């Protein structure tokens, strides 16, 4: 009996100390909600709507820009979007896109996911000039689901390296 109990205890310890190799599975509805949230940000930018662009963020979200500036909270993120949109408009405007084929979502828990994706700004060409290539950055975002609603809790923007 002692040998059997020892084997059982060993099996439990082994199971509890072994690193998990599988990630949580999100539902198709969760994946679609996250994709829609990401696209909602681009749509808001394209409509010049700083409030809607920031609405995808959790109230206490953190946004780290490609230059390293750290923005804390939805209010500060909205203010930054107002400034960015004004500067973009003054420069002639751009279209913002998150190409769906670049979005990779991984669920860490049913209520926590991370996503890697490209973020593109496509400048409007000057009269008679060819379209410039898009400015591309890479985003790493942490998303959390609270009361059934997904929001971005953390975002890090990284400039794409020239090759």
Between the CA atoms of 71, 77, 81 and 87, what dihedral angle is there, to the nearest 10 degrees? -30
Q: For position 21, what pLDDT does the model report?
A: 43
User: Is the residue at 71 inside a domain?
Assistant: yes
pLDDT, tens digit, 9 for 90 and up, residues 42-75 = 999 999 999 999 999 999 999 999 999 999 999 9
- Name residue, tokens 């400039």: 159
CA pair distance 47, 40, nearest whole angstrom: 11
Question: Over the Cα atoms of the chain, what is R_g?
Answer: 21
Q: For position 19, what pLDDT does the model report?
A: 43
The CATH number of the domain holding residue 46 is 3.10.450.50
Number of domains in the chain: 1
pLDDT, tens digit, 9 for 90 and up, residues 2-39 = 545 444 444 333 343 344 445 678 899 999 999 999 99
Percent of the chain with pLDDT over 70: 85
Q: List the end-to-end C-alpha distance of the chain, in Å, as a whole number.
A: 66
**Lowest-confidence pick of 40-44, 79-83, 131-135, 145-149:** 131-135
User: Is the residue at 30 inside a domain?
Assistant: yes
Confirm if 85 and 57 have CB atoms less than 8 A apart: no
User: Is the residue at 11 inside a domain?
Assistant: no
User: Is the residue at 129 inside a domain?
Assistant: yes
Q: For position 22, what pLDDT does the model report?
A: 56
* Residue 91 lies in domain: 23-159
Q: For position 108, what pLDDT does the model report?
A: 97
């Amino acid at each position: 009996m002692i040998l059997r109990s020892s084997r059982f205890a060993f099996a439990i310890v082994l199971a509890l100390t072994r690193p998990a190799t599988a990630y949580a599975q999100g539902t198709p509805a969760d994946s679609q909600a996250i994709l829609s949230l990401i696209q909602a940000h681009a749509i808001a930018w394209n409509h010049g709507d700083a409030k809607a662009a920031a609405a995808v963020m959790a109230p206490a979200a953190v946004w780290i820009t490609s230059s390293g500036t750290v923005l804390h909270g939805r209010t500060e993120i909205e203010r930054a979007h107002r400034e960015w949109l004004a500067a973009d408009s003054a420069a002639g405007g751009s279209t913002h896109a998150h190409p769906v084929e670049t979005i990779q979502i991984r669920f860490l828990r049913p209520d926590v996911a991370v996503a890697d994706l490209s973020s593109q700004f496509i400048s409007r060409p000057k009269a008679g000039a060819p379209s410039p290539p898009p400015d591309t950055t890479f985003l790493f975002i942490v998303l959390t689901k609270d009361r059934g609603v997904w929001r971005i809790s953390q975002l890090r923007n990284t400039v794409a390296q020239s090759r």
